[in-house]
Amino acid sequence: MSLQTLEQSLIDGIQAAADETELESMRVSALGKKGALSERMKTLADMTPDERKVAGAELNALKEKLTQAIAAKKAGLQAKSLEARLATEKVDVTLPARPETQGSIHPVSQVWEEIVQIWGDLGFSVAEGPHIENDFYNFTALNMPAEHPARQEHDTFYFHPKGDGTRMLLRTHTSPVQIRTMLEQKPPIRIIAPGRTFRSDSDQTHTPMFHQIEGLVIDEETHLGHLKWALAEFCKAFFEIDDVKMRFRASHFPFTEPSMEVDINCSWEGGQVKIGQGTSWLEILGSGMVHPNVIKAGGLDPDRYQGFAFGMGLDRIAMLKYGIPDLRAFFEADLRWLRHYGFRALHIPTLAGGLSS
């Protein structure tokens, strides 16, 4: 077969390919290791140098022509295939509107964002830390003595001992974030630390994993009056009321001195709690001035710096605001519960537009 006849035969075969599978088969038969052109290349060894020079150039030219023909045919087949696919996947714009999304935001996530909005407006930034902590950050740096009950296994989840006898643990509060922040940043410090915490407890108002949010202010001038004002502003914004009565009761926490538990006035009419009215009181958080030993553990001079701290259960205040009776339901993944208490998927709380509107 002459080279011209071979060329025409291969070109016709390429053009006749009905799909990419047939085209690939044609490519192999023409340019593969055992293809027609490769077999013709083997004959060059039996030619004289002058004949080989002429024949080699012709075969290389044919190879280039076949390669281009295959590429062009492949592009044409792909375009044809895409056109056919688009024709079968047209969108019928006359179809009725699809139902709205069924997803909803979990109340904990919603309240988390509400709180961040409020404290952000008051000049606080969000700080985070690891869930797995060591004894120093979780207990020692927070002025908790070795015999403190919170260190016992009935209250804290410990990991297996290391080779040196020390044990890591699941943090029991977000207070370690305060220590880490003091060690990493220079005052003035104004942070909130929301996050998951873990304790060995479970009933209607306690779960082994729960959410907590703490705040910390450290500078040279902050005093107790600033703490009271900040907490009052938070409660008015969070519960979306114009005025709130608060009661600060003396208490004891190892990491603050003086320490106070904060009550907010409420009523229990009709079996429902209503914040900002009535004559009853409800404890919502703990607070106080940061203990000098904690400031020292954070690498700062307690003779120069002082500040306040507070902490509250995020799940608990979500229950109070939205009338959720049982804490355990927060973690049961019941879609019926979530559809009832959940929030719109695209709802973003803002102080200007309303936190829960």
200 and 119 within one domain: yes
The yes-or-no verdict on residue 294 having pLDDT over 80 is yes
204 and 163 within one domain: yes
Q: For 210-225, what is the mean pLDDT? A: 94
Assess if residue 231 is contained within a domain: yes
CA 338 to chain centre: 20
Q: Are 114 and 349 in contact (CB under 8 A)?
A: yes
CA neighbor of 111 nearest in space, from 123, 119, 102, 100: 119
Per-residue pLDDT, 87: 82
Assess if residue 357 is contained within a domain: no
How many beta carbons lie within 10 A of that of residue 72, not counting itself? 12
What's the mean pLDDT when you consider all of the chain?
88
232 and 319 within one domain: yes
Per-residue pLDDT, 227: 96
Q: Are 23 and 70 in contact (CB under 8 A)?
A: yes
Per-residue pLDDT, 188: 94
Spatial distance between the Cα atoms of 168 and 154, rounded to a whole number of angstroms: 15
Q: For 245-263, what is the mean pLDDT? A: 93
- pLDDT (tens digit, 9 = 90+) per residue, 155-194? 889 999 888 888 999 999 999 999 999 999 999 999 999 9
290 and 188 within one domain: yes
- The CA-atom distances, in angstroms, between 173 and each of 103, 200, 208, 269, 342 are 30, 12, 12, 33, 26
Instruction: Count up the domains in the chain and report the number.
Output: 2
119 and 74 within one domain: no
The yes-or-no verdict on residue 1 having pLDDT over 70 is no
Size of the chain, expressed as the number of residues it contains? 357
- pLDDT (tens digit, 9 = 90+) per residue, 37-61? 888 888 888 888 888 888 888 888 8
147 and 49 within one domain: no
Assess if residue 332 is contained within a domain: yes
The yes-or-no verdict on residue 154 having pLDDT over 70 is yes
Of the ranges 16-30, 139-153, 219-233, 260-274, the best mean pLDDT one: 219-233
84 and 116 within one domain: no
CATH of residue 233's domain is 3.30.930.10
Assess if residue 95 is contained within a domain: no
The yes-or-no verdict on residue 222 having pLDDT over 90 is yes
Token readout for 60 is: 């290389």
Assess if residue 200 is contained within a domain: yes
Token readout for 223 is: 């005093």
The yes-or-no verdict on residue 93 having pLDDT over 80 is no
245-273 b/e with 16+ CB inside 10 Å = b?
Answer: eeebeeeebbbbeebbbbbbbbeeeeeeb
195 and 73 within one domain: no
Please say which residue of 38, 57, 88 terminates a domain.
88
Q: Are 259 and 288 in contact (CB under 8 A)?
A: yes
Please say which residue of 29, 59, 88 terminates a domain.
88
CA 252 to chain centre: 35
Please say which residue of 88, 117, 148 terminates a domain.
88
111 and 75 within one domain: no
180 and 260 within one domain: yes
CA neighbor of 66 nearest in space, from 118, 111, 125, 12: 12
172 and 308 within one domain: yes
Q: Model confidence at 347, in pLDDT bands (50, 70, 90)? A: confident
The answer to whether the peptide bond before residue 258 is cis (omega within 30 degrees of 0) is yes
Which residues span the domain enclosing 280?
A: 106-344
At 280, give phi and psi (nearest 5°): -90, 165
Spatial distance between the Cα atoms of 215 and 124, rounded to a whole number of angstroms: 8
Q: Which residue stretches of 156-313 are H helix?
A: 175-184, 224-238, 292-297
140 and 235 within one domain: yes
Burial class (CB in 10 A: 0-12, 13-18, 19+), 301: exposed
Q: For 114-135, what is the mean pLDDT? A: 94
What single DSSP character describes residue 158? Answer: B
Assess if residue 356 is contained within a domain: no
Q: Model confidence at 20, in pLDDT bands (50, 70, 90)? A: confident
Assess if residue 166 is contained within a domain: yes
The yes-or-no verdict on residue 241 having pLDDT over 90 is no
